[in-house]
Structures are given as structure tokens and as C-alpha cells.
Structure 1
Amino acid sequence: MNRALDLYCRALSFACAVIMAVMLVLVFGNVVLRYFFQTSWLISEELSRWLFVWMVFIGAIVALRERGHLGTDMVLVRLPAKARRACVVVAHILMLYITWLMLLGSWDQTVINTGTEAPVSGFPVSVFYFCGVVFSCSALVVLAYDLWRLLTGRVPDHELVMIQESEELAALPVHQELVDATDRDGRATHDTAAGKNP
């Protein structure tokens, strides 16, 4: 299952790259046509907007799998291992519920807009909303798999923080050393501030 999810996310990353390339051609090509040939692709703006939304939702799936979403971990890293695991399990259950609601809403919008055509391209507007269905189904699988790993003890304690505090801190090994020091001895910060040796 782990390998299948990795292959799936690799394919999604490739799809994001292709979408980005198509958007670049559409937008840049339209600019060139307007400024040098006094014409334009009418479909360019509408299609590039749809592709951007699809790229964001696909990228969110990959970020969820790679634990790249931003969040705050200042409380979680200070909890004991068992309390930290319980919090992560509750968070996954809540995320599964919210993702399920998003799936229902996206599917309803997809069905409602099946007969509605986009004003320029004439494509069904349901294609636009279907990206929510793809994201929700994929996120449900990723979250359910992570929850199963948590409940069966397959996630080690040092991997229980499944978010990044910030992009800058995630890149700093000093941040991880501080987290590890806090895990080893919760009094380390207090002793240092008091001028004692930890």
C-alpha cells in the first residue's frame, strides 16, 4: 500500500508539472498574441484558471502524503509520546470526517453542473468541480492509511508530528535538535534560563 501511494503521488507530481507547462504556454502565448498580433486565444483565460484549480488540488494530495502542509506543533512536541499519539489519532479522525463532507459537497456540485457549459470553452462546468472529488477520494485513502499505521503502532514516536511549523524551520536541522532536546528533558529550557547546566 505504501509503495502504491508513493507511485500515485509521483504520477500526480508529474501531472502538476504538465499542468504548469500548459498554463505557461496558454498565458505567455496569449500575451505574445495580444501585444504583437492584436489577437488572442479566447479560451486561454478560462482554461488556465481551471488548470490552476486542478493543480492546487492535486498538489494538496501530494503535500498531504509528504506531510508538507503547514501547521503549529508547539504544543504537540511538548506532550508525552502516548498523549501525542492520541492527539494525532483524533486529528486524523476529524480530517477524515471533514474530507468526507468535502467529497459529498464536491460530488453534489459535479452532478448539479453536468448540464452547465462554460461560457467560452463550452466544457461542462462539472469538470471544474470534479477536482474536489479527486482530492477527497485520494485524501481519504491517504488519511485512512496513516490512521491505520497509527493505530497499529507502525508510526514511530519521532514521526508523530505530521506537519511543518514553517517552511523555514523545516529546513533548519537546529529546529529538530531543539525538538529532540525538549523531548528528552522538558526542563532543558527552564534550566538554561536559570543558568543551570541541563
Structure 2
Amino acid sequence: MRVWIDGICKAIEALLAACLAVMVVLVFGNVVLRYGFNSGITVSEEVSRWLFIWITFLGAVVALKENSHLGVDMVVSKLPPAGRKFCLVASHGVMLYILWLLADGSLSQIEINREVTAPVTGASMAIIYLASLVFAVGAAVLLLGNLLRVVTGRLSDDELITIQESEEAAVLAQVLPPASAAGREAGSQGGAR
């Protein structure tokens, strides 16, 4: 299952890079045309806005998979493994409920906006709300996978904290081994006081 999820996330990352490249070309091209030639690409702003929405939601799925979302783990990191498991299960339960609300609202908005067309492209406005539905489904799959790993005992004690305290800690965790990153983070916090 992890292999499938890793493959899907790699595909999403490639799609995100392509969307970002299209956004850059459209926006930069539109600026050059507007200021240099007093014209422009009429669909540029609308398509760029839609791509930005999709990049945000798809990027959140990848960040959830990589445990890159920022949060406060000050209390959870001090708990024993049983307490960490309880907090993980409780937080995932709350997130799954919120994702269900998001999916339900997205489905309603897709239905409402199915026949509404965008002013420039004429495409259905339901495309915008489809992004939040895709996020809700993708994030729910990841959270349910984590819960399954907790129940079956395949989640290590290090993986019980699924957030990063700070961006610096996330970078250090990727570069240094876990013991070195924790020691360096504690040292940098001690020096800042």
C-alpha cells in the first residue's frame, strides 16, 4: 500500500511542477504582453487562479504524506508511546470528521456550480470545488492508512508525531540523523533564550 501511495505522491509532485510551470509562463507572458505590447492573454488570470487553487490542495496532500505540516508537539513529544498513540488516533479522528465535512460541502458546491461557467474560459466552475474534494479523499486515505498502521502496530514510536515544530526542525530532520537533529534543535533553542 505504501508503494502505491508513494507512487501517487510522486505523480502529484510532477503534476504540481507542471502546474507551477504553466502558471509562471501564463503570468510572465501576460505581464510582458501587457507592458511591452499593450495586449494580453485573456485566459491567463483565470487559469492561473485555478492552477493556484489546485496546487494548494494537491500540495497539502503531499505535505500530509510527508508529515510536513507545522504544529506544536511540545506536549505530545513528552508523552509515553501509549499517550502518543492516543493523541494520534484522536487527532486523526478529528481530521477525518473535518475531511468528511469538507467532502460533503465540496460535493454540494460541485452540484450547485456544475452549470455555472467561468467568464473567460467558459469552463464549469465545479472544477474549483473538485480540488477540495480531491484533497479530502486523498487526505482521508492517508489518515486511514496511518490509523491502520497504528492498530496493526506497524507505526514506530518515531512516527507517532506527525507534525513538525518548525520549518528549521523539518529541514534538520531531513539532513541529519534523528538523534543529531533533536540535539541540534535543543541546542539552538537553548542558545536563543
For the criterion TM > 0.5, the same-fold answer is yes
Residues of 2 paired with 1:33 and 1:170: CA distance? Answer: 40
1:3 counterpart SS class: helix
Shift of residue 94, structure 1, vs aligned partner:
0.9
In structure 2, the gaps of 5 or more residues are none
The normalised TM-score by structure 2 is: 0.89
Q: Partners in 2 of 1:3 and 1:175 — Cα distance?
A: 27
Count residues in correspondence: 181
Equivalent residues in 2 for 1:177-196 (5 A)?
177=183
CA distance in 2, matches of 1:179, 1:32: 45
Q: Which amino acid counterpart does residue 176 of structure 1 have in structure 2?
A: A
TM-score under structure 1 normalisation? 0.87
Residue of structure 2 equivalent to 1:129: 129
Structure 1: how far apart are the matches of 2:184 and 2:23? Answer: 42
Aligned to 2:93: 93
- Distance change (3 Å), C-alpha of 1:178 and 1:89: farther
Q: Secondary structure at the match of 1:71?
A: coil
What pairs up with 1:1-198 in 2 under 5 angstroms? 1-172=1-172, 173=176, 174-177=180-183
Mapped to 1, the partners of 2:158 and 2:66 lie a distance apart of 15
How far has the Cα of 1:170 moved from its partner? Answer: 2.2
What is the deviation of 1:159?
1.5
The residue type paired with residue 108 of structure 1 is S
CA contact (8 A) 1:68 1:163 kept: yes
CA distance in 2, matches of 1:170, 1:23: 27
**1:118–1:125 CA contact under 8 A, matched in 2:** yes
Shift of 1:177: 3.1
Between the aligned residues of both structures, percent identity stands at 47
> Offset of 1:179 from its aligned partner?
8.5
What secondary structure does 1:40 align onto? coil
Whole-Å separation in 2 of the counterparts to 1:12 and 1:169: 25
Matched-pair contact (CA < 8 Å) for 1:77–1:179: no
For 2:120 and 2:185, the matched residues in 1 are separated by 53
What secondary structure sits across from 2:114 in the alignment? Answer: coil
Distance 2:185 2:167 in 1: 16
